[in-house]
């Protein structure tokens, strides 16, 4: 069961009257404004992954092996390699 808000409590009277003209007694869905966010931007996942990947690149630059990075970040060899390749760094162990 969805909850609703009485339009008379939140809309200005001129807008309420216009809606009543077209949809009196109807339940309306009012979509959010078009706010197209990329994957993970609303939840913060994208930023978390960016920071993790930067940390992986930094640890590699400090001399960590791919095997060490795999263990530390719980990622597979190919995932670590892709992260390192995207930074333009050499990824040979």
End-to-end CA distance of the chain: 57
Task: Judge whether 15 lies within some domain.
Answer: no
Residues 27-33: contacts with CB under 8 Å, at least 24 apart? none
Measured from the Cβ of residue 69, the count of other Cβ atoms closer than 10 Å reads: 24
Looking at residue 50, its pLDDT comes to 95
Asked whether the whole model's pTM tops 0.75, one would answer no
Task: Judge whether 84 lies within some domain.
Answer: yes
* Structural domain count of the chain: 1
Residue 49 domain boundaries: 44-93
Which tens digits make up the pLDDT trace of 57-86?
A: 999 999 999 999 999 999 999 999 999 998
Task: Judge whether 78 lies within some domain.
Answer: yes
Task: Judge whether 23 lies within some domain.
Answer: no
Q: Residue 66: CA atoms inside 13 Å, Cβ hemisphere, count? A: 15
Average confidence (pLDDT) over 25-31: 85
Task: Judge whether 82 lies within some domain.
Answer: yes
- Residues 56, 67, 92: CA angle, nearest 5 degrees: 80
Task: Judge whether 7 lies within some domain.
Answer: no
Task: Judge whether 36 lies within some domain.
Answer: no
């Amino acid at each position: 069961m969805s909850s609703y808000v009485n339009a008379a409590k939140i809309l200005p009277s001129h807008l309420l009257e216009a809606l009543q003209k077209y949809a009196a007694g109807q339940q309306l869905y009012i979509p959010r404004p078009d706010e197209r966010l990329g994957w993970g931007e609303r939840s913060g996942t994208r930023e978390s992954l960016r920071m993790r990947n930067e940390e992986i690149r930094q640890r590699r630059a400090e001399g960590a092996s791919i095997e060490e990075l795999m263990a530390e970040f719980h990622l597979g060899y190919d995932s670590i390699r892709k992260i390192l390749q995207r930074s333009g760094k050499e990824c040979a162990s």
